[in-house]
Amino acid sequence: MKAFGKILGLLMLGLLLIIIGLGFALTHLFDPNDYKDEIQQLARDKANLELQLKGDIGWSLFPWLGLELTDATLASADSPEQPFANLRLLGLSVRVLPLLRREVQMSDIRVDGLDLTLQRDDKGRGNWEGVGQPAKREATPTTATAQPPVQPPIAGETEQPAQPLKLDIDSLTISNSRVDYQDAKSGQQFSAEGIELSTGAIREGADIPIKLLAFLGSNQPVLRAKTELQGLLRFDRALKRYQLQDLKLAGEASGEPLGGKTLTFASQGQLLLDQSAQVAEWTGIKLSANQLRALGELKLRDLDKTAQLEGNLSLAQFNLREFLDGIGIVLPAMRDNTTLSRFEMSTRLAGTPTSINLNDLSLKLDDSTFSGNLALSDIAKQALRLQLKGDKLDLDRYLPPENKDAGAGAARQNEVKQAVAAAGNSGTTPLPGAPTQQAWSSTPLLPLETLRKLDIEAAIGLGQLTLSKLPIEDARIALTAKDGLLTLKELRGDLHGGEFAVRSQLDARPAIPVLSATPQFKRIPLEKLIEARGEKAPVRGLLDLNADLRTQGNSEKAWIDALNGNASFSLNNGMLVDANLEQQLCQGIATLNRKSLSGEPRGKDTPFEELHGSLKFTNGVASNPDLKARIPGLTVNGDGAVDLRVLGMDYRVGIVIEGDKTAMPDPACQVNERYVGLEWPLRCRGPLELGAKACRLDKDGLGKIAAKLAGNKLEQKIEEKLGDKVSPELKDALKGLFNR
């Protein structure tokens, strides 16, 4: 714009030189067309301007000094072969006598067919540079002459400042004009074509009606726009105050940034620039862009220092999804394609040239309402600062759709279905095999390049957050991101009567990102976590968990394969669903009693008071050497591992009868005192989805129990037969012999 203003100023200077030349011709009563060469030379000498007058010069003398110029070309005298302006017609006239009073009274100024072509070469030099400066002359030797002495100013005299010219122009009309700008170094091009400008009377301190039409374009990016501007211009040069009242700007835009779509826009308001107070304002803003409607006010102060922005802005409710689609923004696929259908916002604005703050923000998105503050503390770095409170947010609706048929997952699902069907509910089928199919996808999940650029400090509170189908109450989130290091300082909330807290960190700086997490669960129903994944829960109970985990990679499979750390867990007041450990124990006792069960095994849940243990994760395998459970009348001890890579388990479990006299489910397995205190062995193997249905009686271990019971019975008979007839040493020797 500065270059454009300079060019217009230079054009006016050239016109003034023409008028001076015409005055010279008039004093000699000759046709000014006979003095074109002199006028052109005067332009070269005084303004370094190469002026070509191809058309006739028309003129008038009194009471108006009139000029009509046709078919003229302007170029810098430094590069006359590269004209930057062509003019088809210029017509103006100035009243002569007011000039003596430093008043410029002009009739209509008409400009037609103005074509400005501004170019910068690959060295950054413009084809208009040098215009307006006197032509350079070769230095010539001069003879020193005596200079008259400088007279001192007369006492009492003061130098009076020059009075500004008083403008009075009936109208200004520019038609059929265009402006082109090209930068050879960057390859950028800008253009304004079909320029039509018309004004009313131009007088200082009075409203000046103005109307402007133009077609704008650029090549980086390719963009085209049709614009129309109307308003009342008022200026006061003494006060340095400029106003554009009743502004109306409207038009249409299309091009690459809009994805081939068309943006229809319009704005209204009052503009003010007060250079004395260093203030600029836009009040009474009414803005529309396709479906978007906005109201507000903006004010800039301290223009001579670091400008400060303040104001307010409100957006009426509109369909954000349709608006973004209408300006060529393609949204990522979401699980619910009706999201972003309602958006509304109001805020107070504050900012500087490098930052913008949205204070007292009130925002409505679909069924959610938020309030708080949002800021870009560094616009260039997109440094986001966010403090929000909301009533509710169903985040699942905005996440990418689930891919239930993804590679490894589909193969494993088929394997699990077969294992569940083969296991049944009776516990009499063969021990399930260990799963072999990978349970996790190798698809990259994290946009690492984007994450490395993030600069975020956020604190969010939500009355209810739905995430992974889990209804989290009183959710609190605090996170930071800087230079590729993302830290989740806090994620906590209440869940199904329990509570949880998670802290984690993602280091995206190395080529292979590193993750760590420390989750804590307190009295959260485990079955709710499993059912939220769309699976049937094989176990129920209130979960307490403390873990310290770390891994690396950028996919589910990579994270599981590199998972290491430790955890401790406790499951209280729970139940093993469709898994009757009592039935398994009954079958073992019946075997030792050499009896057959009288009825078909029936499925039944196994309640437990507590199940607890510790886990050590090593490259995706969690070893659990101290599993313990308390079941009414029974104690369960376990030692095994969970292979998270295939979501499979392999445990050896021992069940100890504590002397409970509760009737067993079958007469063939009634408990007698010989069985109390013995550890009855089970083997549990298969997919985790089987739960306790993966457990079978360990026949090898049962044989050892039978041998022990036989030895105990023989000891009892030896004791009965020998009594006190032999020494204790001999009885111990005989017992040891038969217990080998």
Q: Quote the domain boundaries for residue 700.
A: 579-607+630-721
In whole angstroms, what separates CA 411 from the centre of its chain?
35
Q: How far apart are CA 101 and CA 381, in angstroms?
A: 56
Q: Which amino acid is present at 539?
A: V
Percent of the chain's residues with pLDDT above 70: 76
Question: Who wins on pLDDT, 241 or 54?
Answer: 241
Q: How far apart are CA 481 and CA 477, in angstroms?
A: 13
Q: How far apart are CA 319 and CA 339, in angstroms?
A: 9
Q: How far apart are CA 52 and CA 75, in angstroms?
A: 9
Q: How confident is the model at residue 416 (pLDDT cuts 50, 70, 90)?
A: confident
**Residue 699 located in a structural domain:** yes
Give me the pLDDT at residue 716, please. 53
pLDDT tens by residue, 365-406: 999 999 999 999 999 999 999 999 999 999 999 998 876 655
Give me the pLDDT at residue 722, please. 46
Give one word for 633, left, alpha or beta, with left for phi > 0 and alpha for psi -120 to 50.
left
Q: How confident is the model at residue 291 (pLDDT cuts 50, 70, 90)?
A: very high
pLDDT tens by residue, 220-275: 999 999 999 999 999 998 899 999 999 999 999 999 999 889 999 999 999 999 99
The yes-or-no verdict on residue 661 having pLDDT over 70 is no
- The enclosing H or E element of 243 equals strand 241-255
36-47 vs 2-27: helix crossing angle, rounded to 10: 140
**Residue 489 located in a structural domain:** no
Q: In sequence order, what E strands does 256-342 have?
A: 262-274, 279-289, 292-301, 308-318
pLDDT tens by residue, 11-23: 555 555 566 555 5
pLDDT tens by residue, 506-528: 999 999 999 999 999 999 999 99
Bridge partners of 492, per DSSP, are: 476, 501
SS (H, E, C) 549-598: EEEECCCHHHHHHCCEEEEEEEEEEEEECCCCHHHHHHHHHHHHCCCCCC
CA angle 177, 181, 184 (to 5 degrees): 150
SS (H, E, C) 58-106: EEECCCEEEEEEEEEEEEECCCCCCCCEEEEEEEEEEECHHHHHCEEEE
Q: How confident is the model at residue 588 (pLDDT cuts 50, 70, 90)?
A: low
Q: Is the pTM of this model over 0.85?
A: no
With a CB cutoff of 8 Å and minimum separation 6, the contacts of 414 are 437
Give me the pLDDT at residue 92, please. 84
Q: How far apart are CA 672 and CA 659, in angstroms?
A: 9
Q: Looking up tokens 């296991």, which residue turns up?
A: 423
Q: How confident is the model at residue 730 (pLDDT cuts 50, 70, 90)?
A: very low
Instruction: Using CB atoms within 10 Å of the CB of residue 401, give its burial: 0 to 12 exposed, 13 to 18 middle, 19+ buried.
Output: exposed
**Residue 714 located in a structural domain:** yes
The yes-or-no verdict on residue 737 having pLDDT over 50 is no
Q: How confident is the model at residue 739 (pLDDT cuts 50, 70, 90)?
A: very low
Question: Who wins on pLDDT, 157 or 124?
Answer: 124
Q: How confident is the model at residue 584 (pLDDT cuts 50, 70, 90)?
A: low
Q: Which pair of structure tokens corresponds to residue 373?
A: 């503050």
Contact between residue 293 and residue 261 where contact means Cβ atoms under 8 Å apart: no
**Residue 52 located in a structural domain:** no
Instruction: Say which range, 126-135, 354-363, 496-505, 637-646, has the weakest mean pLDDT.
Output: 126-135
User: HSE-up of 588 (CA within 13 Å, CB side)?
Assistant: 27
Give one word for 340, left, alpha or beta, with left for phi > 0 and alpha for psi -120 to 50.
left
Which of 636-652 are b and which e, b meaning 16 or more Cβ less than 10 Å from the residue's Cβ?
bebebbbbbbbbbbebb
Q: In sequence order, what E strands does 425-469 have?
A: 455-467
Question: Does residue 63 have a cis peptide bond before it, meaning omega lies within 30 degrees of 0?
Answer: yes
CA-closest candidate to residue 385, choices 373, 396, 395: 373
Contact between residue 69 and residue 90 where contact means Cβ atoms under 8 Å apart: yes
Q: How far apart are CA 737 and CA 168, in angstroms?
A: 133
Contact between residue 582 and residue 618 where contact means Cβ atoms under 8 Å apart: no
Q: Which pair of structure tokens corresponds to residue 669?
A: 């397995």
**Residue 592 located in a structural domain:** yes
Bridge partners of 109, per DSSP, are: 172
**Residue 648 located in a structural domain:** yes
Q: Looking up tokens 């609190």, which residue turns up?
A: 476
With a CB cutoff of 8 Å and minimum separation 6, the contacts of 694 are 423, 432, 649, 684, 685, 686, 687
What would the mean pLDDT of 199-217 be, rounded to a whole number? 94
Which of 147-166 are b and which e, b meaning 16 or more Cβ less than 10 Å from the residue's Cβ?
eeeeeeeeeeeeeeeeeeee
Q: How far apart are CA 68 and CA 92, in angstroms?
A: 7
**Residue 644 located in a structural domain:** yes
Count of structural domains within the chain: 1
Q: How far apart are CA 300 and CA 307, in angstroms?
A: 6
Pairing outcome for strands 222-236 and 262-274: unpaired
pLDDT tens by residue, 65-106: 777 888 989 888 888 888 889 999 988 887 766 766 767 778
Instruction: Say which range, 52-66, 198-212, 490-504, has the weakest mean pLDDT.
Output: 52-66
**Residue 379 located in a structural domain:** no
Question: Who wins on pLDDT, 443 or 543?
Answer: 543
What value does the mean pLDDT of the chain take? 83
